[in-house]
Amino acid sequence: MEADLLDELENIANNLKHHSNDLLHYENCVDRCLTLSSKGTEDIKFIFQFKPDYLRNGGEAFVYRNGKRLNNEGVPFRHLSNIIVLIMGFMAVKREKPMPYFASNFSANLFAEYVNNHAGTPCIAFI
């Protein structure tokens, strides 16, 4: 993996370790896959798969619950460092099951507005 990508992943891992985070923690990064997992009662994993040419084409994110993939197609991202990967808690969107929500182009103001309108819903933003 490119040195830039490793630096980026190290920064993400450090942010997760040094900020009190009630929702997610850094699990590992193996074979161009970064895994974050939930600390809650449900076994939720967020896997960010980096393309071999990551610096040009980014990668895709997948969400798993209890080992089963929740999103059929990966959520594309360009660079972890210049997008906000937003995981808004466990929103009951469909199938009456909590579903994480991803947004790759989500402004800080919109995130703040969401938090204000959904008090009590666990939220996290990686900026």
Write out pLDDT tens, residues 88-109: 555 444 445 555 555 555 566 6
- Distance in angstroms (rounded) separating the CA atoms of residues 24 and 59: 20
Query: Where in the sequence is the domain holding 94, given as residue range(s)?
Result: 3-126
Number of domains in the chain: 1
β-pair partners for 38: 24
For residue 18, the model assigns a pLDDT of 52
Q: What is the pTM of this model?
A: 0.62
Query: Of the candidates 19, 15, 36, 18, which has an alpha carbon nearest to the alpha carbon of residue 27?
Result: 36
